Amino acid sequence: MLALQGAFALHLDALGRLGVEGLEVRTATDLAQVDALIMPGGESTTMSMLLESQQLFAPLNTAIQGGLPVFGTCAGMILLSAEILDGRSDQRCFGALDMKVRRNAYGTQIESFETDLDVAGLDEPFHAVFIRAPGVEALGPGVEVVSSHQGEPVLCRSGAVLASSFHPEVTNDDRLHRLFLETIAGA
């Protein structure tokens, strides 16, 4: 669990409910101990800065390019994308998903919303909470849309990388964490 900033505690609770030990990753040494990684929501500009000041950006980039399974949620999706619109000029991303995202595409904090999504691979809809969520504006051919909202992709996968515009950790529904662990991380 990337734990530099943001909403990582509830993700750890979800992992615990699924019987998986989550380690808080803040350094390259921590990173070397994990089999898969969740990048939480929060503030992608701050996370980008902290990844660099903690000297974690380069080792994490190497790990992702090497196939580390990663689930990025909200700010985590922004970090995994290939291009950020409305970002800070010095903000970095990993290019793990061939897509462009626009920060805060669904509006400000008070325009946060909740909705039920149909998700490929889940029998029942998933209640999704969007908080200053990024919007996906362009997708490469290798990116699979696992769920969309009003025609816009909100859950995407490419290889071992999964990313959601919304926060799956704030409800007690652990199905997306399970999906990530079982079908992507091979747990």
Is residue 15 a contact point for ligand GLN (CB under 6 A)?
Answer: no
Of 126-165, binders to ligand GLN (CB under 6 A) are: 131-132
Binding of residue 78 to ligand GLN (CB under 6 A): yes
The yes-or-no answer on residue 169 being catalytic is: yes
Q: Residue 43 interacts with ligand GLN (CB under 6 A)?
A: yes
Candidate list 11, 149, 167, 177, residue with the active-site label: 167
Counting contacts by CB under 6 A, is residue 177 touching ligand GLN? no
Residue (31 or 74) nearer to ligand GLN, CB? 74
Annotated catalytic residue, options 11, 149, 169, 177: 169
Binders of ligand GLN in range 102-121 (CB under 6 A): 103-104
Q: Does 42 bind ligand GLN (CB under 6 A)?
A: yes
Whichever of 86 and 182 has its CB closer to ligand GLN, that residue is: 86
Q: Are 182 and 19 in contact (CB under 8 A)?
A: no
Residue 70 or 75: the one with the smaller Cβ distance to ligand GLN is: 75
Q: How far apart are CA 107 and CA 134, in angstroms?
A: 9
Q: Is 75 in the site for ligand GLN (CB under 6 A)?
A: yes
Interaction between residue 171 and ligand GLN (CB under 6 A) = no
DSSP labels, the chain: -B-SSSS-HHHHHHHHHTT-PPPPB-SHHHHTT-SSEEE-SS-HHHHHHHHHHTT-HHHHHHHHHTT--EEEETHHHHHHSSEEES--TT------SSEEEETTTT-SGGG-EEEEE--TT-SS-EEEEESS--EEEEE-TT-EEEEEETTEEEEEEETTEEEESSBTTSSS--HHHHHIIIIIS--
Give catalytic residues, as residue numbers: 74, 167, 169
Binding site for ligand GLN (CB under 6 A): 41-44, 74-75, 78, 103-104, 131-132
